Amino acid sequence: MSLVELQRYADPMLAQIVRGRLEAAGIPAFCFDTGMNIAEGAPLAVQARLMVLAEDLEDARALLAEDEGPGSDRDAAT
């Protein structure tokens, strides 16, 4: 079992929120580098990486695509 990168986030809190969404759906997820921007003082230098197991990558992508699809909260805000 190996971890692969699902997505990168400039906002480490958003990475944690998405990780929680994946875990709620039964997909184990991990955030790497979430404290690097604070430690280095450069907000966009190192982005937080959201990692999943290689065998869960397609399911995770599908779940995130559902969340961003038509009728999502993001569409309602615009």
7 or 67, greater pLDDT? 7
Instruction: Report pTM.
Output: 0.76
Q: 7 phi and psi, to 5 degrees?
A: -165, 160
**Per-residue pLDDT at 76:** 43
Q: Looking at the DSSP assignment, which residues form a beta bridge with residue 30? A: 51
Instruction: Please give the angle made by the CA atoms of 29, 31 and 36, to the nearest 5 degrees.
Output: 175
Q: Looking at the DSSP assignment, which residues form a beta bridge with residue 52? A: 4, 29
Tens of pLDDT, residue by residue over 16-61, are 999 999 999 999 999 998 776 665 556 567 888 999 999 999 999 9
**Per-residue pLDDT at 78:** 37
d(CA 25, CA 73): 18
